Amino acid sequence: MTRKLYQEDVYKKECESTVVEVQGAGTADDPYVLVLGETVFFPTGGGQPCDLGTIDGIPLTGVFEKDGMICHQLLPQGNPDLIPAPNWKDGSRVACVLDWNRRFEHMQRHCGEHILSGIFFRECGGVNRGFHMGSGYMTIDIDVPGITREDALRIETMTNEVIWANVPVTTRHYAHRSEAEKLPLRKALAIDEDITIVSVGDVDNPADCVACCGTHPSTSGQVGLLKILKLESYKGMTRVYFKAGKDALEDYQNKHRILAELNLKYSSDDNDLSEKMKVQEEKNKEIRQELYLMKNTLIGKAASEILNKYEAAEEQTDNTSVTTPGLLIREYPYFRANDLLSITKILTEKLTGSKPLIVLVSTRETLVILASSGKHDCGKIVKDNAHVWRGKGGGNAAGARVMFPSRDDLDCFIIFIKQAYHTTR
């Protein structure tokens, strides 16, 4: 069995250790795994991620427990030719240095989870059935459905009160189940022997008391802060998202920054930000409505201009030599693709006699819309020709769109269209 120094002194940040076994070849596919006689590194387990740090200056990539032995996975990084290969063998002495900042944050977060779970148990009888500690938030699954926001806020305050009280966090070992069961445990024991019980606060009336092999600070005050983020229904339970310790402080700092930016933007303070955003939203809604009406008017006008011209031309074709053109090109500086599509929709519905190839250009989007209700296949025109001028798009026989990377490319495409399709009916 590896001697777990983190259980004897959770604040021990480095140690010398004896190599029990060396596995692996130090490559990416087959990294070194050192089995050590004693270690300061906590292995992944119980929902808590493993410690990291260095052994003989080489960074750890993982720590895990196997049959009571702690295994340390290492991978020399950078140029392996410049890094001397470690000369590890069974019995070698190695220097272990813990990444203390990472460990302490884990201790803060993990202990915060203890207190929060303990208070949920005390206040609503809910047992924590699942725990997740990710790189961002943590979650616990409390086996009571429908915990309200108000309940959660009350429990969050109580949890922070335990943190402020700076009560001791103690770890006790029990050889047999019968002794451990005398304590006010939050959760039934899963093992019968060699049990570690963690208590937060007064042993007779603890904020939390549960079996746990993780790492914890010696007092609750070191957790610093705990904040519940949200509640979610989960398999008949309530999933509670929260943050604790430095992670919670960083979250607060980030949210404060976002809030300060919004207050600057809306000339507000924290209290009237929401109201000022609502007022701005209303104004935006009105402006969007006005814009919609004005655009529709412009679209109608653009379509009428073309229709009037065609109707006049068609009246003349009955008794004169004047013919309607087979190609119609218009360019608009302010319309977008969707606006041009609205124009082509009106045109293809109303141009009953003449069936020209309609080509509408959006200057602001460097884009061309083609439409035809007659003899042209717009999709094919785009597919066969637009790529010559780096145009990207497509469509079907009745309509197609193509976007160009530059105005010059678009102009070349239009010149081509004029040459190829400028026929008369």
Least separation in angstroms between CB 216 and Zn ion: 5
Nearer to Zn ion, 58 or 185 (CB): 185
Q: Alpha-carbon distance 155 to 122, whole Å? A: 10
> Which one, 187 or 383, has the nearer CB to Zn ion?
187
Query: Can residue 212 be called a binding residue for Zn ion (CB under 5 A)?
Result: yes
Q: Smaller CB distance to Zn ion: residue 173 or 301?
A: 173
Q: Based on C-alpha coordinates, what's the Rg of the chain?
A: 36
> Closest approach of Cβ 234 to Zn ion, in Å?
22
Which of 316, 420, 311 lies closest to 359, judged by CA?
420
Least separation in angstroms between CB 215 and Zn ion = 8
Closest residue to Zn ion using C-beta atoms: 212
Among 76, 206, 214, 217, binds Zn ion (CB under 5 A): 214
Smallest distance from Zn ion to CB 228, Å:
19
Using CA atoms, how far apart are residues 115 and 132, in angstroms rounded to an integer? 15
Per-residue three-class SS string for 212-239 = CCCCCCCEHHHHCCEEEEEEEEECCEEE
Closest CA to 130 of 113, 115, 147: 113
DSSP state, 89?
-
Min separation Cβ 45 and Zn ion, Å: 10
Which one, 219 or 385, has the nearer CB to Zn ion? 219
Q: Which is nearer to Zn ion, 41 or 335 (CB)?
A: 41
Residue 416: helix, strand or coil by DSSP?
A: helix
Applying the rule CB under 5 A, the residues between 100 and 139 that interact with Zn ion are none
Q: Which is nearer to Zn ion, 110 or 227 (CB)?
A: 110
- Region class of 79: left (phi > 0), else alpha (psi between -120 and 50), else beta: beta
Window of 204-212, 225-233, 317-325, 352-360 that interacts with Zn ion by CB under 5 A = 204-212
* Minimal distance, residue 222 CB to Zn ion, in Å: 14
Tell me how many degrees the CA angle 394-398-403 measures, rounded to the nearest 5.
30
Residues at the contact surface with Zn ion, assessed by CB under 5 A? 212, 214
